[in-house]
Amino acid sequence: MDNREFNMPLLGDDFPTLEVQSTHGPMSIPKDLKGSWFVLFSHPGDFTPVCTTEFVAFQRRIAQFDALNTKLIGMSVDQVFSHINWVNWIKEKLDVEITFPIIAANDAIANRLGMLHPGKGSNTVRAVFVGDAAGKVRLILYYPQEIGRNMDEIVRVVKALQISDKQGAMPADWPNNDLIGDRVIVPPAKDVKTAGERLKKYEGYDWWFVHKPLEK
């Protein structure tokens, strides 16, 4: 079935305009995030163990996201008062202050973002949307309710996307790729002349697989 029927955002789309209530007050997304990258992530429910571990893990990496000019926004179909109580509980019991907003979504918003999967029940799955400073959707991840996310991977992909925009493609497991380490893959040649010059200009395995040092 075509996902467009449900208006689910796809890679390269403008992130849908959402007018929402959050723990930081009313928000208009992506308008309020203009000029910043963002990671909007959904969780199945407040006061649940896996989600609690995720929020603590996100918060403990807030400085890394700040360094990437990236804002975090949480979301579930719980109401704002529930989010506030949960955030207070995390601060009191775990000594971690959640500083990013948490959106109170309704079913319409959750469906618009493809976060309600009928085969997985009525709570939102663990969706992750990475948007750039222009409000474009750059990466989407979905995890089931029973598996917590790897926050270091989310930091990695934001950093990799930002570098890729300026320097080239990123290899598997970047920056620790088995073949080329943290180097950047040069985009493939699109004509015979350029292909013939590739290995004279760059290191590589063949004209279609060349790489260059990462610009720090």
Catalytic residues: 51
Return the structure tokens found at 120.
């997985």
For 206, residues 6+ apart whose C-beta sits below 8 A from its C-beta are: 199
Contacts 24+ apart (CB under 8 A), 156-165: 157/130, 158/37, 158/39, 158/65, 158/68, 158/70, 158/130, 159/68, 161/130, 161/132, 162/37, 162/68, 163/214, 165/132
Closest by CA to 39, choosing from 132, 104, 134, 176, is 132
- Give the up-direction half-sphere exposure of residue 92: CA atoms within 13 A in the CB hemisphere: 6
